Structure 1
Amino acid sequence: MAVLLGCIADDFTGGTDLAGMLVKSGMKTIQLIGVPTGPAPDDVDAIVIALKSRTNPVADAIEESLAALEWLRQQGCKQYYFKYCSTFDSTPKGNIGPVAEALMKALDTKFTIACPAFPANKRSIYKGHLFVGDELLSESGMRNHPLTPMTNSNLVRVLQAQVKGKVGLTDYSFVKGGAGVIDKRFTDLQKDGCQFSIVDALSDIDLYSIGAACADLPLITGGSGIALGLPENFRKKGLLKIIGDANKLGTVRGLKAVIAGSCSVATQEQVRVMKEKSPAYFVDPLALVDGKDVVAEALSWVSENITKGPVLVYATSAPEIVKSIQEKVGVNKAGEMVEHALAHIAQGLVKLGVGQLIVAGGETAGAVVKALGISGLRIGPEIAPGVPWTKAVFEQSHNEPFVLALKSGNFGGPQFFNEAWDYIQ
């Protein structure tokens, strides 16, 4: 089976988000962790390579993304996709723009789009401005993000600050006209010297139209929403069949646990709600700073409570607490300390019999996946928009089936941690 769509995601939860959207639309999809070395699986339509490049130095992000692209090209992919967060997480230096330009150069293409819209998760774009619900991005909780604070909602300006090429806009007056009108707008923008176009989107209908207009673009960049419209392009070309079992995972066993490292507003609420019904242990970042053996204490607590139902281990804290820790030890070190501790706790959870695991937060998910020796994820049923259950593929033999959900910090409703288990029973 030929691989149709080759995707590069700049973090782990974002990769799972995209892969879940593709499976939802009938493409058999696998997510691979890091740049692969061997051949692609022979039973998939799409491959998502999940990197940890969102907050890396720009040069490192470019190098890793180009290596992923080269591997995907060797698999004969028909089209390529650079996936980033639906809140356009980046800084004036990158990494979205520089990585996109490097990929365009490698593919020898002169034009692409940038559309992080995901209406199902209340991310919409109008007149080039990104909204989170009814708030401009710059007024949302993302303005306080510890690594990529988003203080400008105008994506044309945000992207233009990161790239050398000209950035244009396909606003809603074109998008509402459908795929043909959108495609003509892309042609006109290229005539005007644009290499990029931010694209407005307010609904899933818009995403399907945009996806159709992108059928012949070698490279697409955006959030996971645009993926809704891409599988149909391959069906129209006779390259993809309608598949009814693309999301089947098979046997599920093992104890249940949640690890939450994200400090997003959504995850804070999910933690609060789960704590009302389930045993919960707080991994205190200040205790880590003081050198206490928090991992051992956490696992001792887990061993006493794991049979009482899903347990929650969380480092999720309010922004002011995160800021105070960053001021004490530095932004990067603060994050690394928490990720390191949660990754070691995840290893201990598996030894205690956990076979069903939810991880909240992109950086946390990356650390956990690496610590557990997971090389890939078979994508299963969707729990909430952008968050599917997956079955782990391990670097070394692993007999027991192990399923996990990697949740972007901002995704899911208040009951997410409590209700997720119902989707794999």
Structure 2
Amino acid sequence: METAAMLVAAGIECGFVTDPALVGSYGDVPAIVIAQKTRVIPASEAVSMTEKAARALLARDIRQIFFKYCATFDSTDQGNIGPVADLLMQLTGAEYTAFCPASPALRRTVYNGHLFLGTELISDSPKRHDPLTPMTDPDLVRVLQRQTRAKVGLLAHALVSAGAEAAGRAIAEAAARGIRYFITDAIYDRDLDTLAALTCDWKLMTGNATIVQHYPDIWRARGLIGATRRPPCLRAVGGGGVVLAGSCAERTLEQLAEFEKSHPVLRIDLLNAGDVAATVGDALDWARPRLHRGPVGFATSGAPEAVKMAQERYGREGAAQLAEAILGRLAVSLRSVGVRRFVVAGGETSGAIVEHLGIRRLRVGPYGGPGIGTAVTEDEDPVALCLKSGKLGPVDLFATTLDVMLDPGRAN
């Protein structure tokens, strides 16, 4: 959703679906985003889902497929970045592609193939405690090579700094030696300018959403898209408002604490939540008398110690699936009692809630800041969603965003 929001903010009409079958419902739009929950499912399932999405796009005779993943390259030795890239290389017929997770404005940078969060290697950062994809190796060439049989190399910063033409020559030479995947160094925004210019005609490109912002000016300069359109304002949505937090990132915990200063928050202890139906029922009973007074929050989030205890009881994937099942079914119950505004913290949580609510197509609003996407369903009885990365967003995001959903004009 963040990727689509960046394109919308750049004045580009962008379709957004969760079901590839709906790609054909759009007319002549410059871009379509298919959002799927594939980060931590078994690699074979991620490949199968991605194939359906890619074939739906290729049927439209598209110029390029862009495969988006997190700025922190969240993955395991089994995938799913490598296996999905392997599939997309095959389908598009690309000879090689690049991997650009960097987001310099957020201090997510890559140098000598090593991923940094600020001044720390990712392996020294809180990401080493991620409950599903702990990042303990900062060398992305090694990380990706463990996920694929394709040969992985590095496009070093000296070559990126030399410009798109020089970088292109270096890649062509390396490809002649059998290298198919290139981790790209990127420290500054100007590096992303270079990488966008280098890759704008490639059949396949991969990376974090940030580099997407650097394509529209190139497309316009080359006459591939029309004049800039003013980003549309999303429709106002009333009804109850809730926060659903599944992320255990430090920033989400800070945002919850800030929201709780003025709004009630129910913290759901996974160790005592084995009965999903009973837990959801209790949470709904707690919410009913409070919702008429304003937004409320629900969280399965916890500190690393609490997460470890839940994983010891249910297993790593089991704990995550339990949290997603609780928040997803709770979202459905809340919708049935009049909630129409949802702020969701965490990428996996966002995917689970969209799936539970049965949302297949959305109108996305313009970019609201790093890691944040907002959208409204196109139904007669609309639902407004803000889906945010667990690691990002201002500390007061929860209450502010729920207010903006009532009156989107105040965000301008």
Aligned position for 2:386: 405
How far, CA to CA, are the matches of 2:44 and 2:277 in structure 1?
35
Give the match's secondary structure for 1:289: coil
Residue 192 of structure 1: how far off its partner (Å)? 3.1
Aligned position for 2:159: 174
How far, CA to CA, are the matches of 1:254 and 1:418 in structure 2?
15
How far, CA to CA, are the matches of 2:28 and 2:386 in structure 1?
22
Alignment of structure 1 residues 275-290 onto 2, 5 Å: 275-289=260-274
Q: Given the alignment of the two structures, is residue 25 of structure 1 paired with residue 28 of structure 2, yes or no?
A: no
How far, CA to CA, are the matches of 2:232 and 2:403 in structure 1?
15
- Matched to 1:404, the amino acid is L
Q: Given the alignment of the two structures, is residue 220 of structure 1 paired with residue 201 of structure 2, yes or no?
A: no
1:195/1:151 Cα in 2 relative to 1: closer, same or farther (>3 Å)? same
Residue 422 of structure 1: how far off its partner (Å)? 5.7
Q: 1:272 aligns with which of 248, 257, 276?
A: 257
Give the match's secondary structure for 2:233: coil
- Matched to 2:268, the amino acid is V
| 1:52-106 Cα deviation digits (max 9, x unpaired) | 1111111111111111111111122111011111111111121111110111011
Which is further off, 30-39 or 44-53? Answer: 30-39
- Matched to 1:256, the amino acid is G
- Matched to 2:398, the amino acid is F
How far, CA to CA, are the matches of 1:210 and 1:138 in structure 2?
25
Q: 2:240 aligns with which of 252, 255, 271?
A: 255
Q: Calculate the TM-score normalised by the size of structure 1.
A: 0.91
Aligned position for 1:419: 400
**Contact 2:6 2:366 (8 Å CA) reproduced:** no
- Matched to 1:33, the amino acid is T
Q: 1:84 aligns with which of 51, 60, 69?
A: 69
- Matched to 2:396, the amino acid is Q
1:283/1:59 Cα in 2 relative to 1: closer, same or farther (>3 Å)? same
- Matched to 2:173, the amino acid is D
Residue 38 of structure 1: how far off its partner (Å)? 6.1
1:292/1:214 Cα in 2 relative to 1: closer, same or farther (>3 Å)? closer
**Contact 1:383 1:420 (8 Å CA) reproduced:** no
**Contact 1:28 1:45 (8 Å CA) reproduced:** yes
Q: Given the alignment of the two structures, is residue 159 of structure 1 paired with residue 147 of structure 2, yes or no?
A: no
How far, CA to CA, are the matches of 1:24 and 1:176 in structure 2?
28
Which is further off, 326-335 or 110-119? Answer: 326-335
1:374/1:263 Cα in 2 relative to 1: closer, same or farther (>3 Å)? same
- Matched to 2:103, the amino acid is F
How far, CA to CA, are the matches of 1:300 and 1:399 in structure 2?
28
How far, CA to CA, are the matches of 1:239 and 1:292 in structure 2?
51
Give the match's secondary structure for 1:235: helix
Aligned position for 2:38: 53
Q: 1:334 aligns with which of 313, 319, 322?
A: 319
Q: Given the alignment of the two structures, is residue 190 of structure 1 paired with residue 171 of structure 2, yes or no?
A: no
Give the match's secondary structure for 1:337: helix
Alignment of structure 1 residues 25-44 onto 2, 5 Å: 25-36=10-21, 39-42=24-27, 44=29
**Contact 1:208 1:228 (8 Å CA) reproduced:** no
Provide structure 2 residue ranges, at least 5 long, that are not aligned to the other structure. Answer: none
**Contact 1:83 1:223 (8 Å CA) reproduced:** yes
How far, CA to CA, are the matches of 2:92 and 2:275 in structure 1?
49
Aligned position for 2:359: 374
Residue 290 of structure 1: how far off its partner (Å)? 6.0
Residue 291 of structure 1: how far off its partner (Å)? 6.5
- Matched to 1:377, the amino acid is L
**Contact 1:20 1:386 (8 Å CA) reproduced:** no
Aligned position for 2:88: 103
- Matched to 1:411, the amino acid is L
Aligned position for 2:297: 312
Give the match's secondary structure for 2:39: coil
- Structure 1 segments of 4+ aligned residues over 3 angstroms from their partners: none
Give the match's secondary structure for 2:67: strand
How far, CA to CA, are the matches of 2:327 and 2:146 in structure 1?
35
Which is further off, 92-101 or 18-27? Answer: 18-27
How far, CA to CA, are the matches of 1:247 and 1:149 in structure 2?
38
Give the match's secondary structure for 2:153: strand
Provide structure 1 residue ranges, at least 5 long, that are not aligned to the other structure. Answer: 1-15
Q: 1:113 aligns with which of 95, 98, 116?
A: 98
How far, CA to CA, are the matches of 2:399 and 2:267 in structure 1?
18
Q: Calculate the TM-score normalised by the size of structure 2.
A: 0.93
Residue 263 of structure 1: how far off its partner (Å)? 0.9
Give the match's secondary structure for 1:36: helix
Which is further off, 346-355 or 262-271? Answer: 346-355
1:25/1:202 Cα in 2 relative to 1: closer, same or farther (>3 Å)? farther
| 1:308-348 Cα deviation digits (max 9, x unpaired) | 33211111111111111111122222211211111121112
**Contact 2:8 2:367 (8 Å CA) reproduced:** no
Give the match's secondary structure for 2:364: strand
How far, CA to CA, are the matches of 1:391 and 1:203 in structure 2?
33
Q: Given the alignment of the two structures, is residue 199 of structure 1 paired with residue 184 of structure 2, yes or no?
A: yes
Aligned position for 1:13: none
**Contact 1:40 1:75 (8 Å CA) reproduced:** no
1:211/1:318 Cα in 2 relative to 1: closer, same or farther (>3 Å)? same
How far, CA to CA, are the matches of 2:170 and 2:295 in structure 1?
51
